[in-house]
Structure 1
Amino acid sequence: INHLIDGFGEAAVLFEVPCSLPVGDTMIHGVIDLIVDDGDTIAVYDHKTESDLRNLEEYAVQVSIYAHSVMQARGKDNVRAYLHYVTLGKDPIEVEVLPMDVIEQRLERYKKETSEVPDADYR
């Protein structure tokens, strides 16, 4: 991660930034791993420790939520989103920031899927 941070030059760098975003009737809370603001563009990074990209679609929703929360907080639309798979040793992957209606659809689908899980003691 240090090699990534060293490349940001004079940009403002923030770590572990709490965020919130209303999505429909649900308030989503999270912690953004890294925000980089170079004055023109704000980049939101989420670090992942997995060694494969199987969950890329789900993580794209997560980092899009982070990007939208930064857009609302800063009043700017020029926010980019990245997933950084640290164990792969590669550059971060830029992810298209999903529109809010797509995020709402995914959240509703997730709610439906989790409501179908029977109540039980899963310990």
Structure 2
Amino acid sequence: MILIDNNSSKALYEQIYDELTRLILSKVLKPDEKLPSVRELAAMIKINPNTIQKAYKSLEENNYIYTVKGVGNFVKDSIELRSIHIRNMEEKLSEAIKSLKELGLNDEYIIDLVRKILKPNVG
């Protein structure tokens, strides 16, 4: 279900967050489906429960899941999530473009770079 790379420079809670968003957006986890409890997931992937809690908190803050007190965490509706995810990706893309511009790269270079990413086997 959730793949963790212990050699990654990415924090464990971020990896869990990324894996759960992937499962939600690919509809492996269905809307209103209950997620494993913090302790259950911690035991499954052998990670500290605080790390799982941090990932769940981030997922809730970004509207991927919702919490029912005393019951658990549940997946939000995927149609709404898709638009949220697209908005989040637009923000990340905007930040990346801003960083490239701060390095002095011009618009044409950045556009060519995006084209190469979109069609990696061409030219």
Instruction: Verify same fold: TM over 0.5.
Output: no
TM range (shorter): 0.3 to 0.5
Larger Rg: 2
TM-score (norm 2): 0.35
